[in-house]
Every structure is written in C-alpha cells, then in structure tokens.
Chain A
Amino acid sequence: MREYAYLRPSDPAQAVAAVSEDPDARFLAGGTNLVDHLKLGITAPGLLVDVRRLPLDAIEQTADGLRIGANVLNSDLAADRAVRTGWPLVARALLAGASGQIRNQATTGGNLVQRTRCVYFQDRTTPCNKREPGSGCSADHEQAYGRYNAILGASEHCVTVHPSDLAVALAACEATVEVLGTAGPREVAIEDLHRLPGDEPERDTTLGHGELITGIRLQRSPVLERSTYVKVRDRASFAFALVSVAAGIELDDAGLVRDVRLAWGGVAHKPWRAAVAEDALRGSPLSETAVREAAEAELAQARPAPGAAYKMAMVRNATVLALRRLVPDVLGDVRGDVRGESEEER
C-alpha cells in the first residue's frame, strides 16, 4: 500500500479546503469501502482527510420533513423512529444492506459515494474503464461474469451498476443532497447526484473533487409513509442486490393511484427512478396486470448487458411484489415469499 498522509480537520470547510487543493487527496468517512480499496490497490491517495468526526451526525426534524447529517451511521438511521414511520423504505433499504457490524460503521454520506462491486473493477489484473480509463471493459463480454451487469443506461465503456440500497430509496423519496465546496454550500437533487457512465465511467457522481456531502433532506409525504424496499439477492442476507425496488403508494378514496414512487436498484450505473412506470400507474386503478404493464413500459428502454437479461423479468416481478406488500388487499398478500421462507420457518 502506498504511503499516505492523514489529516483530521475539525470543521467541514477545512476538510473541503484540504481535499480541494490536493488532487491526490480523498475524504475518509466510515472507511468500509475506501479502506478495502486501499488494501486492494484500487485507489492510492497521497492524503486521507478524515471527516468521520465532523459534527454532521444529527437527525433533525424540519418544517416539512427530516434533515440527516452525512455522518449519521447506517444503523442509527435505520433505527430512527421518525424514519421508520415516515420513510419506512429508507429504513428497509438500510437494513437490507451489509451486516450489523458494517451498518455500525458506514455513514449516510459515505453510502452514497461507495463504488461499484463489479468483480473486474475490484480486480487490478483485469481491464476496467472505471478504474483505469481507456483500458477497456472486462464485463461487457458474453463469457464475462455478467450476473451483476446493468440492463438500463449502460454505455460501451461501462456496464456496471450502483451498489447502494440507500440511494435507491432516496431516489424514490426525491431526496435533496446538501454539498459543501470551496465556493460554499449547494444542493443537488438525488436524481442528479449519480450519473450514467457515458464516456466517463470513472465518474460515479456529479460532485467535483473536494466537494463533500454534508447532509440529506427528506420531505414528508403520504406516498412515502406507505412504502417499502424489496431486495432480491443470491443469499438471504449480507449480499448486494441482483435487483431491488423502492416503492411507495397512495390510493384515493375510489381506490385509484393518487401517487406512486418506484426506483430500481441493481439495474443501472445510478439508482433508476422508474418514471415511465409511475406515470403509467398514476390515476389508474391498481391491479397486478397494471403493475406488470407499467414495469414493461419502463423496460422498453432496457438494453441488457451480457449475462443480465434475467433481470428484466426479475425487476418486473419484484416491482409487483413490492406493491403487493403495500396493498395486499388489492394485489394479494404474499408475505414472506421474497425471502424464500414459509411463515412457519420465520
């Protein structure tokens, strides 16, 4: 591992200044992803600026919702009473990610800027345009390990997906991300934080070098109070998503869809807000057929990368399942089936 210097400033502006003035510097928060990358040699910074102890660890009620400091731990956010009742999809997404120990270490801001778990990105012996621009994509190949590849929004340069569960839930929440740079604070809609790979797959987000996420703001809404997160993975726990669905729904008195939120994980280089599917459902009566057709409409733009075509049916079915959990009286009660366990076993 390359030698690096270590700095722990006591206020966010100092941290931002320290990273901004050194192209070789990186922020360090919980470290669950970055420390692993240091060991793997995926990144070799000359300076680590530790932001973990900056006073950004509060969850505060605001006039219309919540403000979550970037250093709030994943476990503390998932256990927060306001989050569990007002934004259950956020709590569910966090609890579906990583392990108990890692959730006690990983931060809210760090979760959003974690990097892909594509096996080729993590293996320095293979070409990867995200790790080493211009070297080629090892995953975009029929013989590649493509099980975790994208089906939406990929480019010829990169076919990987974003690994965060939290970010998918935040996309469905239309969260606002608070960012601090040398020019001062600014706000970024979660939709605009992550980006599709295009011809710059090395850039996961739209943040500039030295810009620090300081907090997340959530707006309260009935469509988010009735919400959940469904994650499909290769084992029952402690695994990244094959596909995932963050869903919220609000029905009117006549049973029509007043509002719906759908975001998909595991399918693209960024959390995929399924806006086409939402539009298809809004104002209509809810039925399994309607949900399937809405998902199919969203998937009309899909171009599955090698090995990932199975995700088309999987994300459609997971979307039905997520909405079923929220309105079992309309779509049928299927508690327990996603975890592959019977009620007796649970």
Chain B
Amino acid sequence: MDDLTPTTADLSVELTVDGTTHRVPVDPRTTLLDALRERLGNTSPKKGCDHGQCGSCTVLLDGRRHLTCLALALSFDGAEIATAAGLAGSGVHPVQQAFLSHDGYQCGYCTPGQICSAVGMLDEAAHDRPSHVTDDLAAPTSLEDLTDAEIRERMSGNLCRCGAYVGILDAIREVAGA
C-alpha cells in the first residue's frame, strides 16, 4: 500500500475474524460491515442505521469496541476482529450468559452490538477510562465504580428499539460485579 499510484483495481485486505484470517478483495467503497457480512458471511454484526447512530454493527477491533459501518475496509487492513458470534469460541461468553439470564433482549437485532459494546466497555472501565458522568477525573476508574448511571452513559452508543434496556442494565451490572 505504500505504492503512491492511486488505484481502484486489485485491492484486498487481510482481516482476522473470530480467529480465522482471510484475504478479501474489496472495492474501495466497501465498509468493514459489508466486508464482514457480504464477503465473509459473518452476519453477527447488524446493519441498523448504517450511519454510526445505533451501534448494532459494533465489534471488537484490535481489542476495542468499534463501529464497522463508518469504517472503510481498506483503512483497517490487518485488523483483528471479534464479533459477538466468536467472542467465546463455540462457548458462551459471561456477558452473553448474563444477557440470557436477565432477558437483555427482545427481537435480538441490536444484541450482538450490545454484547460487543458491553465487553469493550467493561474493559475500558477496568482500565482507568473515565466517562461523562465520572465525578472525579483524577481518580482511577474501576469496575466497582460502575454505577447504573455509569453503565447507561457508557452504553449510550447502542440503541434498542424494543426497549430491553432494563434487562441489559441488569446483565451488565451483574458481570461488572458492582
């Protein structure tokens, strides 16, 4: 890619998705979301708004929660992606189990994005990343400080039109152990 001749032809990206590495030929206009769904057949991340407003396309990208609809596949050549479908291999991730236990979904469309976002969010809170509702920016953040207000604020990028928020909140609170 360091070749300075602009091109639209013969471009491809390497993506490692849920543990498997793929070489995917793409048109430069292809988003990461479309590469995952349409080229690799991984329909776990969902196309909700396709404009970065709903969070249903959230995955973990190089370990951090990330939208895939506003990401061009070419920009993320070499990325390591975990979708909700591959979070725990063939097993059930603790966040997924908590969503099951607390009815953290209704239709299920936003759920893979909610789960990836929750996993990323818990990791952020455990690693000293404050939020808008964190009172003291100088104090380190931790999972013990995850009040309901903190969880709501940190999950605000994921919408649920069924309104399963109460169950989602219960599920995340349980995993956080706050």
A interface residue numbers (CB < 8 A to B) = 1, 3-10, 14, 18, 28, 31-32, 35-36, 38-39, 47-48, 50, 52, 75, 78-79, 84-85, 88, 91-92, 95-96, 98-102, 104-105, 236-238, 335, 339, 341, 345-346
Contact = CB atoms under 8 A, between A and B. Distances in A.
B6 A79 contact: no
Contacts of B155: 100
Contacts of A5: 6-8, 28
Interface string B130-154: 1111110110000000010100111
Contacts of B6: 5-7, 18, 47
A8 B51 CA distance: 24
Nearest to A78: B130
User: Chain A at the B interface: mostly helix, strand, loop or mixed?
Assistant: mixed
B53 to A, nearest CB: 8
B154 A345 contact: no
B131 A95 contact: yes
B112 interface: no
Nearest to B55: A101
Given A75-B129, A104-B65, A28 B149 contact: no
Nearest to A11: B2
B156 A237 contact: yes
10 contacts: A5-B28, A6-B28, A10-B2, A28-B72, A32-B67, A79-B130, A96-B132, A100-B117, A101-B58, A101-B157
B137 A339 contact: no
A14 B4 contact: yes
B1 interface: yes
B8 A36 contact: no
A124 to B, nearest CB: 14
B137 A237 contact: no
Nearest to A49: B6
A327 B29 CA distance: 51
A246 to B, nearest CB: 15
Nearest to B5: A7
A303 to B, nearest CB: 32
Nearest to A228: B137
A104 to B, nearest CB: 5
Nearest to B27: A3
Given A31-B72, A35-B72, A48 B4 contact: no
Given A7-B6, A31-B72, A95-B130, A100 B65 contact: yes
A160 B131 CA distance: 28
A102 B29 contact: no
B29 A1 contact: yes
B97 to A, nearest CB: 22
B66 A6 contact: no
Given A28-B75, A99-B156, A346-B149, A8 B1 contact: yes
Contacts of B4: 7, 9, 14, 18
B72 A84 contact: no
A4 B28 CA distance: 7
Contacts of B134: 95
Given A18-B4, A75-B129, A236-B153, A50 B137 contact: no
Contacts of A101: 55, 58, 65-67, 117, 120, 157
Contacts of B29: 1, 3-4, 38
Nearest to B62: A104
B75 A31 contact: yes
Contact of B70 (A8, A31, A100, A335): A31
Nearest to A237: B156
Given A95-B130, A102-B157, A346-B149, A32 B120 contact: no
A36 B51 contact: yes
B128 interface: yes
A104 B31 CA distance: 17
A99 B27 CA distance: 28
Interface in B64-86: 64-67, 69-72, 74-75
Given A95-B131, A100-B157, A39 B51 contact: yes
A36 B147 contact: no
A215 B128 CA distance: 24
B11 interface: yes
Given A75-B64, A101-B67, 18 more contacts: A3-B8, A4-B29, A6-B6, A6-B7, A6-B72, A31-B72, A35-B31, A36-B51, A36-B52, A38-B29, A75-B124, A79-B130, A95-B131, A96-B132, A98-B157, A99-B156, A105-B66, A346-B147
A313 to B, nearest CB: 24
Nearest to B139: A84
B18 interface: no
B169 interface: no
B137 A85 contact: yes
Contact of B128 (A7, A8, A79): A79
A207 to B, nearest CB: 22
